[in-house]
Amino acid sequence: MAEILLKVAGLHAWYGESHILHGVDFQVGRGELVTLLGRNGVGKTTTLRSIMGIVEKRTGSIAFAGRETVGQPSDTIARQGLAYCPEERGIFSSLNVEENLLLPPVVKPGGMSVDEIYRLFPNLLERRRSQGTKLSGGEQQMLAIGRILRTGANLLLLDEPTEGLAPVIVQRIGDIISELKDRGFTILLVEQNFHFAARVADRHYVMEDGKVVDMIAAAEVEQNRAKLQAYLGV
């Protein structure tokens, strides 16, 4: 494996009184595309939110580029080069498309330019003056991904980017994620849609009950199909 960019060890997280993560361990190498798989409610989204520092309480260790981030507020974490695309997409209704796109501040040099992003998502260019939430679901997803490409962050956390989208759009988003990987982005992807995940990822971590229980490399997916089906209940 290449240099380790993100290393999560013994991560616990809570929302109020409920203890969601019970010691999560995994790591992501620079330039890798890794997925977190698992059924609903096993703690995949909470894992991403913990990495971003937006859960109520977390303990354990999350090292990004060798630096510990547990204990830091989320804006400090983001400024080290992490960017987050939430499951609910988080498009702002009081901002138009272009304002949404320009909202996340540049934290490091080397991000994509606005023109490059519009080239990747031509729909957004057409609708740049529209209110953000007037876009279709697919366009909103593209906007949510597009706006974190400008910032120079090298680790992208994508939470279920295909959820609720038509197959054509899912296909398109798959292409885009592959292209982002080719451009050198490191990506941690949370997915329910295993077929989509299998197409793009280098490795898969499987979560159950707030823990990572298994790791399957892309090359080993075929031998482990039965086991994966049992994990994911498909």
Binding site for other proteins (CB under 8 A): 52-54, 73-75, 77-79, 83-84, 86, 90, 92-95, 99, 102-105, 107, 148, 151
Q: Tell me how far, at minimum, the Cβ of 206 lies from other proteins, in Å.
A: 26
Give the shortest CB-31-to-other proteins separation in angstroms. 22
C-alpha torsion sign, points 104, 106, 111, 112:
positive
Kindly state the smallest distance separating residue 148's Cβ from other proteins, in Å: 8
Alpha helices in 42-129 (DSSP H): 44-52, 74-79, 97-102, 114-120, 122-126
Identify which of residues 151 and 186 has a Cβ nearer to other proteins in the complex: 151
C-alpha to C-alpha distance for 148 and 82, rounded to whole angstroms: 9
Structural contact between residues 216 and 203, judged by C-beta atoms closer than 8 angstroms: yes
CB atoms within 10 A of CB 103: 16
Tokens of 105: 């501040």
CB of 120 to other proteins, least distance (A): 19
Q: Which is nearer to other proteins, 99 or 202 (CB)?
A: 99
Q: Which is nearer to other proteins, 32 or 159 (CB)?
A: 159
Q: Smaller CB distance to other proteins: residue 35 or 50?
A: 50
End-to-end CA gap in the chain: 30
